[in-house]
Amino acid sequence: MSHPLGRTPGKVIAVHLNYRSRARERGRVPDQPSYFLKPPTSLAGTGEPLLRPRGCELLAFEGEVALVIGRRAHRVDPADGWSYVHWVTAANDAGVYDLRYADRGSNLRSKGADGFTPIGPRLLDARRLDPGALRLRTWVNGEVVQDDTTDTLLFPFAELVADLSRLVTLEPGDVILTGTPAGASVVSPGDVVEVEAVSGELSTGRLRTPIADADHDLETWGAMPKAGSAERAAAWGAAFVPEALLDKGIEEGLRGVAVATLSAQLRKRSLPHMSIDGVRPTRPGDTMVGVAHTLRYLPLREDLFQRYGNGMNAQKRAVEELRPGHVLVMDARRDTSAGTLGDILALRALRRGAVGVVTDGAVRDSATVAALGLPVYHAGAHPSVLGRRHVPWDTGIPVACGGALVQPGDLLVGDADGVVVVPPELAEGLIADCVEQERQERFITEKVRAGQSIDGLYPLGPQWRAAYAKWCDSDSEGDQP
């Protein structure tokens, strides 16, 4: 197989976790870098097909920046580490998660197969680059799925070189794969993966890798592919949907009671601050029940917007991280003087399976957003883009939305009255008490319509308990088939 290095390196070393976005996606942040080896025979060039072994379903791509060592490095200081890098190029650290179990963490067969490390197409002179200012992007079938910058690395390139060289001598031509950002996922035969690293006007060009099926069965005298929920979750990343986010019975129960009733029952549990204040639905008839996925905006700072507001920023990542059943909850500091969501991102949220959006800021394209059919609760409409007031900062963290603290995984329930936050561990008991409260209120409504005074009736007093019990019995009999 051809690749742009011109000769076969002695070592290909890969870093497990190195981008903050990927660490958040994986749910862990390492204190120190860790590594694995890939065989030099795994290298391939641009345009060469990456073959998924037969019997495997979880062939995953990982767009990465690759470093090529230029001179022998042994026990180098971190301050000098970058000077040992000669070339920089793009790479795809591909692997099949179906075989990850087979080598107890070494990744030899899952990531070391022939052709599983495409690199190229162009080598950039490291002396002309700022190692902390590279931008890495990955496309699948023309759609951007990874977009991050090397100023978000947990372990900068120079530190990787120094760390490895403490015990492992790096020789000229050795390759270091420096980790992948969030968004790595599974591809299938027929897909095309492209990876590019850029620095200002300098570009590696797009490393193009078409995905195909191997033309032969995998021989049976070794470990065979197998994949369970853990392997699927790891391979698919943020796109993985292992099961419904919310139990169907809980969802139906919450949908069957009013937000006002939920608010009253939460207050009885000494939780009076669970409503998201100041938001209203784009369509008053909408109802919403889902699981919170959060996004936080910070006040605009022009010097930081270029870094945090452009490209695959936190706003776009939050949308791409959505799973069926999610409600995207935006903390915009109750600032309605700039949009936090427009029609394109709302459409993408809907396509990702979101069941609602809640923002204590403004929406753009409000008429088009309303026509999508996605329940959206907002604090106002505004024509401007978020760069007027907001910097999208982070996802998947506790946020303040409309005066309420919302954690990822909280339940959000909305109707024409607004939105309340429901702690998931309280949901079942709340539903039962809400059903009872609303049943009492139906009884009270009947009596008020019949001319009864509300004194002692609303709320239901002792003198009406016997009549209410009798009414419940007759009501239950009326429910029988």
C-alpha 279/C-alpha 298 separation (Å) is: 19
Is 343 annotated for ligand binding? yes
CA angle, corner 409, sides to 250 and 323, nearest 5?
A: 85
Coil, helix or strand at residue 442: helix
Measured CA distances, 475 to 72, 217, 414 (Å): 85, 65, 28
How far does the chain reach from its first CA to its final CA, in angstroms?
72
Measured CA distances, 368 to 23, 151, 373 (Å): 36, 37, 10
Is the distance from CB of 419 to CB of 282 less than 8 angstroms? no
Is the distance from CB of 317 to CB of 182 less than 8 angstroms? yes
Say which residue the tokens 């009733």 belong to: 261
C-alpha 295/C-alpha 357 separation (Å) is: 11
Coil, helix or strand at residue 371: helix
Coil, helix or strand at residue 15: strand
For 308, half-sphere exposure in the C-beta direction (CA atoms, 13 angstrom radius) is 19
375-402 in b/e form (b: 16+ CB < 10 A) is bbbbbbbbeeebeebbbbbbbbeebebb
CA angle, corner 343, sides to 341 and 347, nearest 5?
A: 100
Is 342 annotated for ligand binding? yes
Is 365 annotated for ligand binding? yes
CA angle, corner 272, sides to 268 and 277, nearest 5?
A: 140
Which run of H or of E encompasses 315? helix 314-320
Residue 320 makes CB contacts below 8 A (sequence gap 6+) with 145, 183, 238, 312, 348, 352
C-alpha 471/C-alpha 477 separation (Å) is: 10
Write out the two tokens for 195.
Answer: 């990876």
Is 345 annotated for ligand binding? yes
Residue 82 makes CB contacts below 8 A (sequence gap 6+) with 126, 131, 157, 158, 161
Measured CA distances, 69 to 18, 80, 203, 380 (Å): 19, 13, 19, 54
CA angle, corner 449, sides to 432 and 460, nearest 5?
A: 40
327-350 in b/e form (b: 16+ CB < 10 A) is bbbbbbbbbbebbbbbbebbbebb
Annotated binding site for substrate: 342-345, 364
Annotated binding site for Mg(2+): 365
Annotated binding site: 342-345, 364-365
